[in-house]
Amino acid sequence: MVVRERETVASLVARLGEPPPDIAARWSSDARRCLSIEDVPPLEANSRFWQLFEVSEEGSVFFSGDLSGAPTGASIGASTGDPISRTGLTPLPPDPAELLDGKTPAPLSTPPATSPLPPLELQTHASEDKSDAPKRSASKRRSRLLPIAVGGAVAVIALISIVVALRSPDSSEESMQPGAVADSTQSRDPFSPQPWRESPSSVSSKDEKHRGMPTPELETLFDVPRETDDNAVAVGSVDPGDEEATFAEGISASGTSDFSLSAYLPAEGTRSEGESRDGSLSDRIAAIDITQVEDEDNTIAEAVPQSTEPSEPLQPQTTAVSLPSPPGSQDAELPPAVSLTSLARPPEQLQLQFPAKAPLRLQADGDRWWVNAAELEAAVAVVELHRGTEGESTLQFRWLPAAAETSQAGSLMHARLRTGDGEIVYLRRQYHADPIAAELLQRDQKLKWSIGGSILYPVTRVRVQWQLPDDVAVEWVESPSESSPARTRGIALLTLQDAADGSALAVRIDIQTSASLSMRLRYGARLGPAMPWQWTDAPSIRSALDTTTRQLQLADNQLLQIEAAISRAKKFRERRQEAVLEIQRDNIEEAARRGTALAKRLAELDQLVSLLAVDGRMEFTLDVQWPDGGVQTLLAAQSPPE
């Protein structure tokens, strides 16, 4: 007969979990009787007390007298260095989507390379301690064996009860699996580096033979501390239990809820509200918080000035000049005269025109034209014709002292001079700037361009357009209002032309114009129509993709270890251990499958960002519309014509 070593109660609890209440009460009673004490500590795997008690083959416990405190039997999954433990620690990826929020994960802890799991054994002491046998009397041996024999039948029934309870589908999973997966019903942030946990819903879809078995918890081997992000804005939420209401509530990007793959990847064969062909795109965007931002008023104050250069109008017979500022009441000297334009011959007629109501008028006087203010009798400026020796003529402009007495003098910058030959001179400089590259180097850009002064809002228009590669499609969810340059906004949706999984970028554009044009651009991303938006940038997207790929490789290594352990369990016919490992394997495979789909969407998003970085840009113009159809450009951020 094969004699097995005895096993401590602590080792047995670590290996099989907390015993049923009747067995626990029996063992506690045996311990109190052995030591003649009133109370005993609870049955825990790390209890020093229960490491001194062993379980006999009949199921009763007795004091072993081993004061070293070390368990005599190695139990499955009890070692902290075991890569496949009872808690199911799995090096699955952290949430790659929140890594889009710019956080960097801590280094991975690679599972130690240890031997496969040993077969599940119930180890007992030998029925007789040979070293002490010569010293014992026959009466003492009978008195020691008597309670064991009496409790034998009860112990056998108790062991059968343990097996039945472990295999019964009606048994409480919470009491049998200390590492059970917590139900994840809170909103998730798909752009935060939180551990991946498999949803309990995935366990319910497993084969019937797995029902009733403890489900190991899927956790990452590291935890990334959450950092405060001032740019994180409430942008959307996902309810794992109701994919049709994914846009119903907003969440904060600084939330710390765990991430569940099953919560973010819709089940096959289902279509969420965001994917509905009947729902308009504007309705979907309006349902999330990407359109609601409270700090718009800070756009101008915090904007970074951009370089601009004076440019000439593209229209023929058109010139744009910059007038000096009108003199102030405290100025001792008048600004110097400036040349407006050169003419081939003296103008037969000269008109002063405004795009709106004219506060100033022009009065001809030979080779001079006086600029009179309606509220003053004196002229505020004069335009003079200087004739050249070879027939060429030059128009010059200079301010007069009366300009310091009226605010209407400043409105002259909105006017233009027109000769009888069709020559046009705009009294305001035109500026050119580079278009905005869609590189996504920053998730929040605040830019400002000088336009040389204030604008007449009723006649000024702002226009925004995209220049994109052929593989990128753009759709305006909300177009900027051309007739509202003082304050307007737009939301553009950028996708790949052949995008199948719904990954997309959203560009939020806020524009304000006064004495300068200020613009704020924010980039948001989503990994699918049913997933929330989050502000992001190109480095965060690439980091998320790299992290997801690396963690999926670790998951593959974990699966290889589990398969080896399953083979060993089959070899030793350890049915229960095999079933537990199969559940853990299926859970990891399901999480890896969803993680692979998530990585595919991240790769699609990364490809979109790469295309935009190479040849994607946003252009805009600020123009004045004249009553005769003429267009006066104040600022043009465009690529040079080819």
pLDDT in tens, 170-223: 333 333 333 333 333 333 333 333 333 333 333 344 344 334 333 333 222 222
pLDDT in tens, 289-298: 666 655 555 5
End-to-end CA distance of the chain: 94
Q: How confident is the model at residue 397 (pLDDT cuts 50, 70, 90)?
A: very high
The average pLDDT across 336-348 equals 89
C-beta of residue 56 within 8 angstroms of C-beta of residue 27: no
The pLDDT value given to residue 295: 53
More confident residue, 222 or 41: 41
pLDDT in tens, 370-387: 999 987 778 999 999 988
The pLDDT value given to residue 343: 87
The pLDDT value given to residue 5: 62
The pLDDT value given to residue 147: 43
Rounded to whole angstroms, the Cα distance separating 430 from 310 reads 6
DSSP letters, 191-202, are TS-PPB---HHH
Please tell me the pTM assigned to this model.
0.58
The pLDDT value given to residue 474: 96
The average pLDDT across 76-99 equals 39
Phi-psi region of 440 (alpha: psi -120 to 50; beta: other; left: phi over 0): left
Pairing of strands 444-450, 304-305: parallel
Q: How confident is the model at residue 392 (pLDDT cuts 50, 70, 90)?
A: confident
Q: How confident is the model at residue 517 (pLDDT cuts 50, 70, 90)?
A: very high
Predicted confidence (pLDDT) at residue 4 exceeds the cutoff of 80: no
Predicted confidence (pLDDT) at residue 104 exceeds the cutoff of 70: no
The pLDDT value given to residue 75: 35
The average pLDDT across 433-452 equals 95
Rounded to whole angstroms, the Cα distance separating 44 from 533 reads 45
The average pLDDT across 594-617 equals 94
The pLDDT value given to residue 169: 38
More confident residue, 148 or 560: 560
C-beta of residue 83 within 8 angstroms of C-beta of residue 558: yes
The average pLDDT across 235-263 equals 30
Nearest residue to 496 (alpha-carbon basis) of 615, 612, 617: 612
- Residue 350, token pair as written in the block: 């000269």
> Of the given ranges (92-101, 425-434, 479-488), which has the lowest mean pLDDT?
92-101
Predicted confidence (pLDDT) at residue 227 exceeds the cutoff of 50: no
Predicted confidence (pLDDT) at residue 313 exceeds the cutoff of 80: yes
The average pLDDT across 398-417 equals 93
The average pLDDT across 466-480 equals 95
Q: Who's near 109: CB < 8 A, 6+ residues apart? A: 91, 221, 222
Q: Check residue 52 and report its DSSP letter.
A: G
> Of the given ranges (7-21, 265-279, 411-425, 552-566), which has the lowest mean pLDDT?
265-279
Q: How confident is the model at residue 340 (pLDDT cuts 50, 70, 90)?
A: very high
In this structure, the chain runs to a length of 642
- CB contact burial 4-24 (16+ within 10 A = b; e otherwise): eebbbbbbbbbbbbebbeebe
Rounded to whole angstroms, the Cα distance separating 191 from 533 reads 9
Rounded to whole angstroms, the Cα distance separating 238 from 16 reads 37
Predicted confidence (pLDDT) at residue 24 exceeds the cutoff of 50: yes
- Residue 580, token pair as written in the block: 């537990």
